[in-house]
A and B are shown apart, each in its own frame.
Chain A
Amino acid sequence: NAGVTQTPKFQVLKTGQSMTLQCAQDMNHEYMSWYRQDPGMGLRLIHYSVGAGITDQGEVPNGYNVSRSTTEDFPLRLLSAAPSQTSVYFCASSFGAGTEAFFGQGTRLTVV
């Protein structure tokens, strides 16, 4: 049972480049979400989805885009990377609101 799988694990981007962080889960969870983790800031919610075709913004959505075409996949797109987006990104999934979330191993992104 793979759980939540994120790719890539590491990425370096130049300012202005775009890229997609991939996230897939095999637990048939309805809820999926993206967090970023920065030193001293904790985990902050970027975007989330309550099911296929439904997405919404979290605490820090600017500069990021998401879509959810299937239950399994929830990619995060950086439209034009900025140094402020240097962070560790985590994808998570759960059965629904108020239930425990299971996290992927993270993507460490550096924007230069």
Chain B
Amino acid sequence: EDQVTQSPEALRLQEGESSSLNCSYTVSGLRGLFWYRQDPGKGPEFLFTLYSAGEEKEKERLKATLTKKESFLHITAPKPEDSATYLCAVSGYGGSQGNLIFGKGTKLSVKP
């Protein structure tokens, strides 16, 4: 069964304090691993897709990396506007029929 576990559940940072969010996954053949940002009362907003181990993607202060068992979302010098819940999802070739299977998310708070 495809599964995604995110840690930590919540993370509080000071502005400028860099850190990383973890996404561990098990999947029957990885089609893709996805990172989303979700603000309160809004739908998830797509950030990155990673397809193979060793791949990296960057956008502003965010950098996503992928290994065969986990992905990291690195946040460099965060600002208060980076506060949100970050969701990780996988899509596999097995029983999930290519649909996205989500983790429970990491709630990030960045204090000025």
Contacts and interface: CB of A to CB of B under 8 A. Distances in A.
Contacts, number: 59
Interface of A: 4, 31, 33, 35, 40-45, 48, 56, 58, 90, 92, 96-106
Given A100-B34, A100-B49, A105 B43 contact: yes
Q: Count chain A CB atoms within 10 A of each CB in B43, B89, B104 and give the residue with the most.
A: B43
Contacts of A106: 41-43
Contacts of B102: 35, 42-44
A75 B32 CA distance: 27
Given A48-B97, A97-B98, A102 B46 contact: yes
Nearest to B41: A106
B5 to A, nearest CB: 10
Contacts of B46: 100-102
